[in-house]
Amino acid sequence: MRKVSWIVKIGVMILLATAAFTFVTMSLWNWLVPVLFHGPVIDFWQALGLLVLSKILFSGFGKKNHSHGGHWRPYWKEKWNTMNPDERELFKQKMKEKWCKWGEKANDSNQTTGS
């Protein structure tokens, strides 16, 4: 009998937490979205639907590994370990060229306007 009441208490707590989180989401949406973006006002069930949809889209169901790019990590770790120092430097330089151009452009424009 005690196990059943413990399980019921946990279930009620989960339902209350979900309801509270849904209510907060609905309130924030209805406070911000209509004013900022001229969007619709939503009700409780639509807010719950948004939470479920965002859960599906952004984290999925049943995933065990929440690290970003986790399935690529062993490949790159092995590849990095097999590179010699010259190959590593070339790889680093290519990554800087590919991903750091925005920062260089911002620095270049600051230098040209500053003088």
Q: Per-residue pLDDT tens for 2-11?
A: 777 889 999 9
13 and 54, same domain (yes or no): yes
6 and 28, same domain (yes or no): yes
4 and 52, same domain (yes or no): yes
82 and 52, same domain (yes or no): no
Q: List the domain range (segments joined by +) for residue 41.
A: 1-63
Does 41 fall in a domain?
A: yes
- 2 CB burial (10 A radius; 0-12, 13-18, 19+): exposed
Distance, CA of 47 to CA of 29 (rounded, Å): 8
Does 68 fall in a domain?
A: no
Does 72 fall in a domain?
A: no
Whether 98 has a pLDDT exceeding 90, the answer reads: no
Q: How many domains does the chain have?
A: 2
C-alpha distance from residue 63 to each of 14, 19, 51, 54 (Å): 20, 24, 17, 15
Using one digit for the tens of pLDDT, what is the confidence trace for 72-88? 677 778 888 899 999 99
Does 12 fall in a domain?
A: yes
85 and 107, same domain (yes or no): yes
